[in-house]
Structure 1
Amino acid sequence: MNIQLSHPRLELRGITKIYPSVVANEKVDLIVYPGEIHAVLGENGAGKSTLMKIIYGVTRPDAGEMLWENREVHIESPAEARRMGIGMVFQHFSLFETLTVAENISLALDTPMASSELAQRISAVSEEYGLPIDPHRLVHSMSVGERQRVEIVRCLLNRPRLLIMDEPTSVLTPQAVLKLFETLRRLAAEGCSILYISHKLDEIQALCDSATVLRSGCVTGTTSPKQETRESLARMMIGKDLPHCQMDTRTPGEVRLKINQLSLATVDPFGTHLQNIDLEVRSGEIVGIAGISGNGQKELLAALSGEQPAQQSDTTHISGTAAGKLNPAQRRKLGLRFVPEERLGRGAVPSLSLGLNALITGSDSSMVKRGLIDHSSVRVFAQAVIKRFNVKCGGDKALASSLSGGNLQKFIVGREIMFAPKMMIVAQPTWGVDIGAAQLIRQALIELRNQGVAVLVVSEELEELFMICDRIAVIADGRLSPVVAAVETSVAQIGLWMSGEFTQDNSELAHA
């Protein structure tokens, strides 16, 4: 802790928030001092995001007191929070896709600024913090990682005295994370208080001075993360020892996904063209694709899911069938299942119940009979997903928007797994997911692989890829590296390839 005055910057006393189906926060006490980086830890659904929204004025508590610099306050709106000096970077982005970066950021500024001046400030601040963004770029053309940069820069432009960060590094590169940490430490040294939510325990230990742990909406303890181990922090969060993934060696079977010389011009003026991509994924194996955000992952996933079909059918084969021109529904009939990186809006419709969200990709299942929806089957299926994947929610009628990010991710992944795929493609499977739920999702993918399913995982988490993958490749500037056995490469080698330093001369490694 760098600076501490005689009184806290923020103090919560007995904060309680109750929804019809869940107690989000119950008598929560929290103290944050000037210059302190304070972590809030807990499983998905533990009440962390609700508590942060209360501080930021998005949600009103049902009971309790909030003191700002030793004075009781009632924050009625985010605008009021910003005027007080509170800024927040949300886990789920609040950006308008049809507007530019500068236009989005201008909406969060309480003092109007000329567009040219704002663009210059965005460029300067983003470069200073190591999160470069083009102020004139349209948001819809940006990857998830790039959108995260916009959220962070938008908040930092207001020079907050308390900065709330909800999973800010979920889709940042390791280099960008280090640069962000430098920025946060500098802000703390200048007296800014930081509330930091992350499921990455190594981040918490490296960055934070203190931590408050929530479980089922209640505070279960406070600690100094630097004095804890990863395992002890996990036990405090989930109440038991951290589960470990079990992955046995097995021989892969037939080719389920074959990509042959796939070149695809992006429709996005700021996107990345795919160049001569070759890839095979066999039944009974997990192949991982690493890469820095914005290097063609979005375009590759669109090509594989059928959202952007190719000009030639034979560039993509699914279970031996030429599928390059097929749409997503036609590919699902071939056994392909897909989990996009954007949960809300693409993986699930926020305003629909979990049951109806199960139906979205299950229209060709037993939930639809003779063209009519069997609502009983819909409920049974959704309830089975909720139970099997331990989704914390208000039942199958709960809206997707009411779930925490991690619980919604468990539901989406579980939904696709329970449709019994032959080929499964998953993008960023554990983004923003707590450590226990992340292990559950990873083990579920391993079990799919053990059942003979071909699994392709696109992730920016190198640790995750080495944990669950049989083979790993890297995508950089729209090109795919050789595919190598995970046991025959290293994080350092993959990290080097992520910068684009590879050639196809290594292609003999591709089927190691």
Structure 2
Amino acid sequence: MPNHAPIPDPVPRLQLRRISKRYPGCLANDAIDLTIAPGEIHALLGENGAGKSTLMKIIYGVTQADSGEVIWQGQRVTLRNPAQARSLGIGMVFQHFSLFETLSVAQNIALAMGAAAGTPRQLEPKIREVSRRYGMALEPERLVHSLSIGERQRVEIIRCLMQDIRLLILDEPTSVLTPQEADDLFVTLRRLAAEGCSILFISHKLGEVRALCQSATVLRGGRVTGHCVPADCTDQQLARLMVGEAAQLIANYPKVTGGDAFLEVRGLSWHNPDPFGCSLKDINLEVRSGEIVGIAGVAGNGQDELLALLSGEQRLNRNEGATLRFGQEPAAHLHPDARRRLGLSFVPAERLGHGAVPELSLADNALLTAFQQGLVSKGLIRRSSVEALAEEIIRRFGVKTPDSQTPARSLSGGNLQKFILGREILQQPKLLIAAHPTWGVDVGAAATIHRALIALRDAGAAILVISEDLDELFQISDRLGALCGGRLSALHATVDTRLSDVGGWMAGQFAAPQSRASATR
């Protein structure tokens, strides 16, 4: 762990002077100035596509600026790669994970720290100690591909905390953490700042920014448009600085009862052959047409396994005896494409590599799951129809991109999420299953996604949302439950549920909440 005494020298830790970066068809950063002092927790705010990620990559050496200066502790530097940035004391936690899936936790951390830090085996005790100290338990010998999304995020954070860092860049670090885990992380960040470590914090959770950050710089359209002290602002004021118009960003949607059950799961038990995975135990779940059911839970408690079994990526054996029906049709043994023919659409947790192929264009990514929507005729792709669908998704969901031929990897996280969700919604599903639908997206994009989900619900679709954002679940869900240790609590009407009830379910306390007219949170 870094152990820096606070630096009384007034020289800034980092200065950016008129940093600019252009990509084909896009000026990502336009003459940006930014200053961070030693021991300061500084927020970088802006909607998806505002240029935040590009700027962070320049600071971390992943990308080089076209023009401008980077001043590190009073000295001009040229950051040519992340290894050089780390040697100066710059660490970064990416929103999209930079881990080798076939290697273990310890091997990934050893690669980042270099040979001088020791072998993976030598690092294992320290990994355990640091992860326990900050409440982010990790087993160093586990292979990354066996970890849940939340556990992979922990690897990224622990990897940085083990280095001798003077500037820690965090890109949406709490997006897959529970409120308690986020609070624990904030304790760590405040401790690091008190020791002199500077922190650059990117988050679309405005309450977190207001509680944690001492100052903020706002980007819009690749330019700095303002500075503020977050603690002196309301969420609406911060949202207005980011997107220009804060109206209808935070809505209270009416709750509904729904009609007949479309998704029915009874007695679903499944043994996970992965010794580090989570097995499911007697899952009973019903999602009605015309309602949204939300499922909360700490990462690693069976969310990934349940999603795989519902989507068809993992199928049940015929002797396992569980019931899985889509609209009264047995579906437990069907392949994913057969389930889609019954009306399923699916938004996976991972955007790149699972929800979209990074190297393919948006048009080709639209074809991946919507090919049954008249986009293929007699074995031939109807290219004009594919491109028309992609353009309609871009238009209706406000996806910021030059055109439908843009590779998926070039989009910001929020814009890619809007595209994936739009692709699934425009197929007019009878059942939509969405994992972490607004993970890492800005308040404007989150509002767009929530409105689309509510509109789909009101059109009669059954919707299942699995999320670790409890505010989101209370906002859009009609009924709520939680997973813990592979078991699912009973579902309860959101209006009869408190935040503390869901917290108890996430800890395995499945007693029913007391009935009340509205949720007091």
Q: Same fold (TM over 0.5)?
A: yes
Alpha-carbon distance in structure 2 between the residues aligned to 1:341 and 1:114: 32
Q: Deviations over 1:297-354 (max 9, x none)?
A: 0110001000111124861000110000011111000000000001111000001000
Shift of 1:98: 1.1
Query: Where do residues 175-194 of structure 1 align in structure 2 (5 Å cutoff)?
Result: 175-194=180-199
Q: 1:222-269 CA distances to partner (integer Å, 9 max, x unpaired)?
A: 111011111100000000124233523444122110001111111322
Q: Could you tell me how far apart the structure 2 residues matched to 1:277 and 1:341 are?
A: 20
Q: Where in structure 2 are there 5+ consecutive unaligned residues?
A: 1-5, 517-521
Whole-Å separation in 2 of the counterparts to 1:256 and 1:266? 26
Equivalent residue for 1:392, pick from 392, 400, 405:
400
CA distance in structure 2 between the aligned counterparts of 1:480 and 1:383, rounded to whole angstroms: 39
Question: Aligned letter for 1:337?
Answer: S
Structure 2 partner of 1:142: 147
Identity fraction in percent = 56
Q: Please give the alpha-carbon distance, in whole angstroms, between the structure 2 residues aligned to 1:376 and 1:392.
A: 21
- 1:66 has 2:70 as partner: yes
Q: Is the 8 A contact 1:141 1:269 kept in 2?
A: no
Structure 2 counterpart of 1:278, one-letter code: N
Q: Which stretch shows the higher mean deviation, 26-35 or 64-73?
A: 64-73
Q: CA deviation at 1:506?
A: 8.5
For residue 188 of structure 2, give the secondary structure of its aligned residue in structure 1.
helix
Inter-CA distance 183–249: structure 2 relative to 1 (3 Å threshold) = closer
Q: Equivalent residue for 2:476?
A: 468
1:4 and 1:188 map into 2 onto residues whose CA distance is 13
Q: Is the 8 A contact 1:339 1:413 kept in 2?
A: yes
* 1:316-395 matched pairs, under 5 angstroms: 316-395=324-403
Please tell me whether residue 293 in structure 1 is matched to residue 296 in structure 2.
no
Following the alignment from structure 1 to structure 2, what is the Cα–Cα distance between the partners of residues 315 and 177? 37
For 1:238, the aligned partner's letter is: V
- 1:14-29 alignment runs, 5 A limit: 14-29=18-33
From 119, 131, 137, the equivalent of 2:136 is 131
**Could you say if the C-alpha distance between residues 461 and 506 of structure 1 is closer, same or farther in structure 2, counting changes exceeding 3 Å?**
closer
> Scaled by the length of structure 1, what TM-score is found?
0.97
2:226 partner amino acid: G
- Equivalent-residue separation in structure 1 for 2:10 and 2:285 (angstroms): 61
1:151 pairs, out of 156, 159, 163, with 156
Partner of 1:235: 240
- What TM-score results when the alignment is normalised by the length of structure 2? 0.95
State how far apart, in whole Å, the 2-side matches of 1:284 and 1:4 are: 60
* Residues 358-408 of structure 1: CA deviation (Å, up to 9, x unaligned): 011012121111111111111100010011111111210010100111110
1:85 is matched with which residue? 89
Distance 2:395 2:232 in 1: 36
Q: Equivalents in 1 of 2:514, 2:285: separation in Å?
A: 11
User: Could you tell me which amino acid in structure 2 is paired with residue 60 of structure 1?
Assistant: Q
Aligned-partner SS, 1:361: helix
Aligned to 2:258: 252
State whether structure 2 residue 272 is matched by structure 1 residue 266.
Answer: yes
**Matched AA of 1:94:** S
| RMSD of aligned residue pairs (Cα, Å) | 1.6
Amino acid across the alignment from 2:379:
G
Indicate yes or no: 2:400 matched with 1:417: no
**In structure 2, distance between residues paired with 1:178 and 1:280:** 33
- Deviation of 1:128 after TM superposition, in Å, equals 1.5
**1:430 equivalenced with 2:438 (yes/no):** yes
1:75 matched to 2:83? The reply is no
Q: Using the alignment, how far apart are the partners of 1:314 and 1:431 within structure 2? A: 31
The range that moved more, 443-452 or 494-503, is: 494-503
Q: Does 1:407 align with 2:407?
A: no
Pick which of 303-312 and 398-407 moved more. Answer: 303-312
Match of 2:38 among 34, 39, 58: 34
One-letter amino acid matched to 1:5: D
What is the letter of the counterpart of residue 399 of structure 2?
V
Could you report, residue by residue, the CA deviation over 1:272-316 in whole angstroms, capped at 9, with x for unpaired residues?
Answer: 111111111111000000111110001100010001111248610
Moved more, 196-205 or 126-135: 126-135
Partner of 2:55: 51
Amino acid of the structure 1 residue aligned with 2:168? L
Q: Deviations over 1:94-127 (max 9, x none)?
A: 1111111001111101324033321111111111
Kindly indicate whether residue 203 of structure 2 is the aligned counterpart of residue 198 of structure 1: yes
Cα distance in 1 for residues equivalent to 2:433 and 2:514: 23
Residues 333 and 107 (structure 1), Cα distance of their counterparts in 2 relative to 1, 3 Å cut:
same
Q: CA deviation at 1:155?
A: 1.1
For 2:112, what is the secondary structure of its paired residue?
coil
Distance 2:257 2:111 in 1: 54
Q: Equivalents in 2 of 1:477, 1:128: separation in Å?
A: 23
Q: Which amino acid aligns with 1:380?
A: A
Residue 313 of structure 2 is matched in structure 1 by 307
Which of 211, 219, 241 aligns to 1:214? It is 219
* Corresponding residue of 2:519: none
**1:3, 1:36 within 8 Å by CA — same for their partners in 2?**
no
**Equivalents in 2 of 1:295, 1:242: separation in Å?**
36
Mapped partners of 1:314, 1:132: distance in 2? 33
Equivalent of residue 281 in structure 1, options 283, 287, 290: 287
Distance 1:445 1:202 in 2: 23
CA distance in 1, matches of 2:144, 2:505: 27
Amino acid at match of 1:225: P
Q: Which amino acid aligns with 2:398?
A: N
Asked if 1 retains the 8 angstrom alpha-carbon contact of 2:48 and 2:413, the reply is: yes
Matches within 5 A, 1:443-462: 443-462=451-470
Aligned length: 507
* Cα shift at 1:3: 6.0
